[in-house]
Chain A
Amino acid sequence: MNNKYIIIGGSAGSFQAVTSILSSLPKTYKNPIFLCLHRLKHVRSGFVEALSIKSKLPVVEPRDKEHIKQGYIYLAPANYHMYIELGNYVSLSIEESVNHSRPSIDLSFFSAAYSLKSKLIGIVLSGANKDGAEGLRRIKDAGGTAIVQDPEECQVKTMTTAAIKSTKVDHIFNTKQIIEYLLKLHNY
C-alpha cells in the first residue's frame, strides 16, 4: 500500500490536461489529489461541477479544516488559498494574493511540502505565470517528487519552464505519461 499524495497546479491552458487526468483514474483510485488551479475570484460555482462530469472520483471544494480522505479530489475554492496541514486536513486562508493569484499554487505547494515531505508528488501544468515554480522547489527540497508537464505540449509554456528552471525535476512528462505514472502508483 503506497501512501502518496498528489498535488497539481495549473493555470491558463491546463483545463484539458486536468480533465484528461481525472477521466483516466478509476473509481477505486485511493491517493488523495489536490488541485490548485487559477480561476476567477468572484465565480464561486461551476468549476467543481465541470470537473466532476469528467471524473469517476468525487471532486469537492473542501471547507475549512476538512479531513483528507482517500479517493477524493480536492479543488481549491475561488478566492481562498488552500493549505494541507499536519494532521491530515485541509485549511483555507484569505491571506493576500501571491503571484496575483488566490488560490496560489506556490502557497498550496509550500504547505503540502511542509506537511507531507517525501509522501508528496507535485505536478505543474500549463500556465501563464511563474506560480508553482517556487513551490515545486520546496516539494523537491522536502524529499517529494517533482513532475512538470512537457512545455512542448503546453498551450502556455511560462509556468512549466519556470518550474523546470527552479529545481532539478524528476520527470518532464506529457499528459499521457503523467496518467501512466499516476496509474502505476495506484497499482503499486
Chain B
Amino acid sequence: MEITLGMVEYKDIIDAINKAYNIDFSNYALTSLKRRFEIVIKKYSFSDYEEFIKKIVTDKKFLEILLYEISIPYTEMFRDPELWLVIKKSIIPIIRKKEKYRIWLPECTTGDELYTLLIVLKESDLLNKVEVIVNNLSIKNINRIKQAYINLKKMEINAANYQRFDGNYRFSEYYYLFDKQVQLKEYLFDNVIFKQNHIIDDELNDLSVDIVLFRNRLLSLNPQLQKYVVDMFHRKLKSGGFLIIGVKEHIDLNTHYKKFTVFNKSEKVYKKTY
C-alpha cells in the first residue's frame, strides 16, 4: 500500500528502531530516509505504519532487510572520472612512496566505489600494498558487495565511465562474463577487510587510516551528524591523510574543520594538516 508518512509517524519509526536496537537514525536527512521507509512499507505490503513498526521491533531478520533497503546502493563505477584521475595522478605517487597504506570506506553501501578503487590500485600495481577496509551495518549488503555481481545494463554505464577515466586495460579484463551479469575477479579482493558495524561504533576506535573515501554518503546525514562523522574521520586519519567526499558535498573549512586543507577543490579532496 502506498503510504506517505507524516512527521509524527516518521519520528515514531525512528524512536522504535532506536529503542529496540540502539541504532539512532534521528540525525539522518529527512526526505531521503522517509522515502526509504515508504518504499519498504509498500514493497513488503504493510497495511499501515504501526504494523511496520511492530514488525521491525519483533523480527530481527526484518531489521536486517530494512537496513539493506535503506542503504541506497545506487551509484556507478568510476562515477566522476575526474576524481579517479586525480587519485591516479596525484595520490597514487604518494602511496608508492609509503611502506604500507590503508584506505577506509566507512558505511560503504555500494560496491561501486570499492570496485573502482581496486581497479585503480591494480592498474598502479599497488593492490598488494594497500589494505582496504569496508564497513557496513547490513550483512546482506556486505555479502552482496563481496560477491561482486553486476548486471549487464549497469555495466554499460560503468564501461562508459571507465572509458572517460582512460583506463590502462580493457575493462573486460576485470570480470567474468555470464548470461545477464558479470562477476569481478576474486584477486581484486585479496586485501579487502569487511566489517559489519555502524559507522559510529566503538569497535572502529583504534583504526588509523591514510584515506577516508566517503563520497555521497554525507548526503544522507543532517548537518549535525555530518560534522560528527567528519570530526571522527579526522581523528582516524594519519597526518597528511586524505578525506574524499562527493562533489556536491561540503565541509566548512572556516568554522568547523580547520584541521583540513583543500587538496583538490572541484573533486572535493581534503588533506589532514595535523
On A, residues with C-beta under 8 Å from B are 41-42, 44, 61-66, 77, 79-80, 83, 85-86, 91-97, 107, 110-111, 114
CB atoms of A93 and B31 under 8 A apart: yes
CB atoms of A42 and B223 under 8 A apart: no
CA distance A41 to B79 in the complex (A): 10
CA distance A95 to B248 in the complex (A): 15
Complex partner residue of A95 from B74, B247, B249, CB under 8 angstroms: B74
Further contacts, 14 of them, CB under 8 A, given A83-B29, A93-B72? A41-B157, A61-B248, A64-B249, A65-B29, A65-B226, A85-B30, A86-B30, A91-B29, A93-B32, A93-B219, A94-B74, A95-B32, A97-B74, A111-B31
CB atoms of B74 and A64 under 8 A apart: no
CB atoms of B31 and A64 under 8 A apart: no
Give the residues in chain B near A86, CB-CB below 8 Å.
Answer: 30
Interface residue B160 (Cβ < 8 Å from any Cβ of A):
yes
CA distance A77 to B246 in the complex (A): 12
Give the residues in chain A near B247, CB-CB below 8 Å.
Answer: 44
Give the residues in chain A near B157, CB-CB below 8 Å.
Answer: 41
Complex partner residue of B79 from A65, A79, A93, A95, CB under 8 angstroms: A79
CA distance A107 to B31 in the complex (A): 9
Give the residues in chain B near A44, CB-CB below 8 Å.
Answer: 80, 82, 247
CB atoms of A92 and B248 under 8 A apart: yes
Provide a sorted-by-A list of 15 A–B residue pairs whose CB atoms are within 8 angstroms.
A41-B157, A42-B161, A42-B164, A63-B248, A63-B249, A63-B250, A64-B246, A64-B249, A65-B226, A83-B32, A94-B74, A94-B216, A95-B74, A110-B35, A114-B4
Interface residue B213 (Cβ < 8 Å from any Cβ of A):
no
With most chain B CB atoms within 10 A of its CB, the pick from A44, A95, A97 is: A95
Chain A binding surface SS class: loop
Nearest CB in chain B: distance from A2 CB, A:
25
Nearest CB in chain A: distance from B185 CB, A:
26
Give the residues in chain A near B30, CB-CB below 8 Å.
Answer: 85-86
Nearest CB in chain B: distance from A6 CB, A:
19
Task: Return the 4 tightest CB-CB contacts between A and B, nearest first.
Answer: A83-B31, A96-B74, A111-B31, A93-B32
**CB within 8 Å of A: which of B234-262?**
246-250
A/B pair count, beta carbons within 8 Å: 64
**CB within 8 Å of A: which of B119-151?**
none
**CB within 8 Å of A: which of B1-51?**
4, 29-32, 35-36
On B, residues with C-beta under 8 Å from A are 4, 29-32, 35-36, 72, 74-75, 79-80, 82, 157, 160-161, 164, 216, 218-220, 222-223, 226, 246-250
Which residue of chain A lies nearest to B74 when distances are taken between CB atoms in the complex? A96
Which residue of chain A lies nearest to B30 when distances are taken between CB atoms in the complex? A85
Nearest CB in chain A: distance from B213 CB, A:
15
Complex partner residue of B219 from A41, A61, A64, CB under 8 angstroms: A64
CB atoms of B75 and A94 under 8 A apart: yes
Which residue of chain B lies nearest to A83 when distances are taken between CB atoms in the complex? B31
CB atoms of B218 and A64 under 8 A apart: yes
Complex partner residue of A65 from B4, B164, B222, B246, CB under 8 angstroms: B222
Give the residues in chain B near A62, CB-CB below 8 Å.
Answer: 248
CB atoms of A64 and B32 under 8 A apart: no
Give the residues in chain B near A95, CB-CB below 8 Å.
Answer: 32, 35-36, 72, 74
CB atoms of B29 and A85 under 8 A apart: yes
Complex partner residue of B250 from A42, A65, A93, A114, CB under 8 angstroms: A65
Nearest CB in chain B: distance from A163 CB, A:
19
Give the residues in chain A near B72, CB-CB below 8 Å.
Answer: 93-96
Give the residues in chain A near B36, CB-CB below 8 Å.
Answer: 95
CA distance A94 to B36 in the complex (A): 12
Nearest CB in chain B: distance from A144 CB, A:
15
Nearest CB in chain A: distance from B9 CB, A:
13
CB atoms of B248 and A64 under 8 A apart: yes
CA distance A42 to B164 in the complex (A): 10
Which residue of chain B lies nearest to A96 when distances are taken between CB atoms in the complex? B74
CA distance A107 to B38 in the complex (A): 13
Give the residues in chain B near A42, CB-CB below 8 Å.
Answer: 160-161, 164
CB atoms of B220 and A93 under 8 A apart: yes
Give the residues in chain A near B82, CB-CB below 8 Å.
Answer: 44
